[in-house]
Amino acid sequence: MIHKTAIVSEKAKIGNDVKIGAFTTIYDNVIIEDNTEVGPYCELGVESTFSEGLPLHIGHDSLIRSHSIFYEGSSIGNRLRTGHRVIVRELSIIGEHFHLGTLSDIQGHCRIGNYVRTHSNVHIGQNTVIGNYVWIFPYTVFTNDPHPPSATQRGVIVEDYAVIATMCVILPGVKIGRCSLVGAHSLVKRDVDPKTIVVGSPAKPVGPTSKIKLLDNTEKSAYPWTKHYHKGYSQNDIYRWINENND
Amino acid sequence: MIHKTAIVSEKAKIGNDVKIGAFTTIYDNVIIEDNTEVGPYCELGVESTFSEGLPLHIGHDSLIRSHSIFYEGSSIGNRLRTGHRVIVRELSIIGEHFHLGTLSDIQGHCRIGNYVRTHSNVHIGQNTVIGNYVWIFPYTVFTNDPHPPSATQRGVIVEDYAVIATMCVILPGVKIGRCSLVGAHSLVKRDVDPKTIVVGSPAKPVGPTSKIKLLDNTEKSAYPWTKHYHKGYSQNDIYRWINENND
Amino acid sequence: MIHKTAIVSEKAKIGNDVKIGAFTTIYDNVIIEDNTEVGPYCELGVESTFSEGLPLHIGHDSLIRSHSIFYEGSSIGNRLRTGHRVIVRELSIIGEHFHLGTLSDIQGHCRIGNYVRTHSNVHIGQNTVIGNYVWIFPYTVFTNDPHPPSATQRGVIVEDYAVIATMCVILPGVKIGRCSLVGAHSLVKRDVDPKTIVVGSPAKPVGPTSKIKLLDNTEKSAYPWTKHYHKGYSQNDIYRWINENND
């Protein structure tokens, strides 16, 4: 299960049925739970002076694809699934069923809930706080410094079920409201109200998310997306989403 | 020709005069034609449940630079040339003389013609269709989901000789017309007519491509670019481009 | 100090107390000065037909993080510090105390001064010229071709103390003036005057940088940033910045 070319510290705590790929390095301060697969060319548990001695903790039934880097001092829940070449730095607490797209970069000191999914090349600045069931699409950046460079940090806050489309910049301290939608190529300077669409540079509200219709000729609204998109979610969640009047 | 640290499956079909770099992994379901060079730290033929059992096929006289990842189930024509850290996922059919820039990411299920060139950090979503002699510049993203997240996919279509400049987002299902030019930092929501310049967020037409002049004091138009830029193209193409009235 | 899995050419000139990580490759034409650390999975001194036979030169007391690639023919001053997966191509001359963020890509043929800092995913096109004490934030691209594709190159020029925020595109040949600020998500088509803020797509001047106040209730201006941000700079610089009337 551990490739002969992998370098695995004897101090690392490796669960049962963990697979570790060729040329991968597992450093000392790492806990990997059962039934997780770590692809080739990865580094897990990179030392950091900011990690406060905390280990890297990877939950069970996870898949970390090749060329990925995780620092010590972060904890990721069960059923993590990454693309290739992701980075997660120190002191982030991340929930279960997290999907992190290829080349995405979590700068550390973040709080991320359950069932969050990012696509490729998402850059999440330090001190970002993300709720549950959030979607973030490629080449989106969450910033944190209101007058760069400075020692001040105001992390972005994203509430549950929000969707942020491709190539957006979210400015420091902005709150993206529950079930809202940020359109592609937007610069978000102000808080986004729940269930609201914002678009543009700078982004402005253009109406409720409910006005976007599915393209399947049903005339149903595409949002909340929980009404029609269920791939990979639990039966409990799906049941709730279908039967609730609203999210 | 095969570095002693490389891991090459006995099942892979490796042509003559193929060079494989240090720490590179070649999996089972791979065909590499003659005279191709694969740099160090690459993975070729990554397994995928979506590959339908098809092999990765790399044409002859190709150069894959280091840290690149190719899945099984895609076919790339002769004289491929990549930057570093590219990714090509499954079930894409790509023509000859393809140049794929550093950190570019082809998500799979794409059709790409001959002599297409992307610069660095180009992200090509699933189901994109690209013609021949197309240019795509850094940090441009082709999307495919009209109301994300959803199960609906409408790939971008790019016609021959089109040029898409730096950091553009092309929205799902948009057609970029033959010989058109998308200016830098544009968000393209609507189809772009042939030989037309569009710019802005959202992008709007601002005139024919012929109005952009070369900066060499000749007063000649910079488009079609085939009239003045010939590096790496065949003598036949160059002859045709110079002598035709138009492309 | 040199990991047993590293591949280090006997021709490379390696100083004292240099640490080289696992699976890293150091090619022939490389000079690494004393007390430098090169992380795992790096490639230093990649051969290039454009390097004019010049070596890669890395100054003393540097830190190159894992998965980074440097070509031969570039020279970087002392106390370089990179993130992960950076690329520096050939024939760039870079000063001391350079910080290059994760996934940043310097395309070569650039001139970069002292104490320049880039954050993640900064793409610096060929022939860019950057002064001293410049800051560049994530996902910013410096272009160089005024009518792509062409053989014409006009590099961007950035003067001392300028700050370029997240996800900007700087068009070819543009000069970013001393102590100016380019706001996030801007497309810069025209020269930026010193001490001026520009924002938007296309970017327009919106006032002097002095009008942006610190968020710490002091009512002091956030620019020039040298008045309040001193992390990692020399005592001489800090003393000068505090005591000068202006930068």
Question: Chain B: nearest CA to C228, how far in angstroms?
Answer: 33
Note whether C212 contacts A147, CB cutoff 8 Å: yes
Interval C147-169 mean pLDDT:
97
pTM of the predicted protein model: 0.97
pLDDT of B16 strictly over 50 = yes
CATH of domain C7-209: 2.160.10.10
CA A123 to chain centre: 9
Question: Under an 8 A CB cutoff, do B143 and A135 touch?
Answer: no
Q: Which residues pair with C118 in a beta bridge?
A: C136
Confidence of residue A32 (pLDDT cuts 50, 70, 90): very high
C-alpha closest to that of B124 among B97, B152, B87, B95: B87
Mean pLDDT value across residues B26-38: 98
Mutate one of A141, A174, A198, A199 to test the C interface: name it (highest C CB count within 10 A). Answer: A141
Q: Is the Cβ of B7 closer than 8 Å to some Cβ of chain A? A: yes
Looking at beta carbons, which residues of chain B come within 8 Å of C123?
120-121, 138-139
Q: How far is CA C128 from CA A189, C86, C115, in A?
A: 30, 17, 16
Q: Provide the pLDDT confidence category of residue A92 given band limits of 50, 70 and 90.
A: very high
B129 in contact with C at a CB cutoff of 8 Å? no
Is residue B178 within 8 A of residue B209, CB to CB? The reply is no
Q: Is B233 on the interface with A (CB under 8 A)?
A: no
Confidence of residue B192 (pLDDT cuts 50, 70, 90): very high
Residue type, A138: P
Contact C222 A143 (CB under 8 A): no
pLDDT of residue A194: 98
pLDDT-based confidence at A190, cuts 50/70/90? very high
pLDDT at position A216 is: 82
Q: Residue B184: what pLDDT?
A: 98
B218 — pLDDT class (breaks 50, 70, 90): confident
- Model pLDDT for residues C21-63, shown as the tens digit of each residue: 999 999 999 999 999 999 999 999 999 999 999 999 999 999 9
pLDDT digits over B85-98, tens only? 999 999 999 999 99
State residue C246's pLDDT score: 56
pLDDT over 70 percentage in chain A? 99
Ramachandran sector of residue A20 (left: φ over 0; alpha: ψ -120 to 50; beta: rest): beta
Nearest to B139 among C87, C139, C147 (CB): C139
User: Would you call A215 and B152 a contact, using CB atoms and an 8 Å cutoff?
Assistant: yes
Interface test with C, best of A142, A147, A167 (most C CBs within 10 A): A147
Q: Residue C153: pLDDT above 70?
A: yes
> Looking at beta carbons, which residues of chain C come within 8 Å of A141?
138-139, 166-167
Residue A247 has pLDDT above 70, yes or no: no
Residue-level pLDDT at C166: 98
Q: What angle do CA B16, B19, B20 make, to 5 degrees?
A: 125
Q: Do A123 and C139 touch (CB under 8 A)?
A: yes
Q: Give the residue-averaged pLDDT of A197-223.
A: 95
Residues 6+ apart with CB under 8 A from B12: B26, B27, B28, B29, B30, B31, B32, B44, B45
Which chain A residues contact residue C139 at CB under 8 A? 123, 139, 141, 169
Nearest CB to C215 within list A41, A69, A146: A146
Helix (H) or strand (E) holding B132: none
Nearest C-alpha in A relative to B87: A84
Contacts of C185 in chain A (CB under 8 A): 169, 187, 201
CA distance A229 to chain C (A): 30
With a pLDDT cut of 90, the percent of chain B lying above it is 97
**The architecture CATH gives domain A7-208:** 3 Solenoid (2.160)
User: Looking at residue B165, what is its pLDDT?
Assistant: 98
pLDDT tens track for A119-146: 999 999 999 999 999 999 999 999 999 9
Q: Which residue of B has its CA nearest to A202?
A: B201
The answer to whether A15 faces chain B, any CB pair under 8 Å, is no
Q: pLDDT value at position B247? A: 46
pLDDT, residue B216, reads 82
Contacts of A163 in chain B (CB under 8 A): 148-149
Neighbour count for residue C52 (Cβ, 10 Å): 10
Tokens of C25: 């490759």
Residue of C nearest to A186 (CA): C185
Would you say A17 and A35 are in contact if contact means Cβ atoms under 8 Å apart? yes
Give the residue from chain C lying closest to A144, CA to CA.
C166
Q: Over chain A, what is the mean pLDDT?
A: 97
Interface test with A, best of B42, B121, B141, B154 (most A CBs within 10 A): B141
Q: Which of C34, C187, A181 is nearest to B147 (CA)?
A: A181
Residue B246: pLDDT above 70? no
Average pLDDT, chain B: 97
Q: List the domain boundaries for chain C.
A: 7-209
Contacts with B223 from chain C: Cβ below 8 Å: 147
Residue A134 at interface with chain C, using a CB cutoff of 8 Å = no
Angstroms from C95 CA to nearest CA on chain B:
25
| C66 with A43: Cβ contact below 8 A | yes
Report the complex ipTM.
0.96
Is pLDDT at C247 greater than 70 in this prediction?
Answer: no
Q: What is the pLDDT of residues C129-145, one digit of tens each?
A: 999 999 999 999 999 99
Burial of A109 (0-12, 13-18, 19+ CB in 10 A): buried
The answer to whether residues B100 and B69 touch, using CB atoms and an 8 Å cutoff, is no
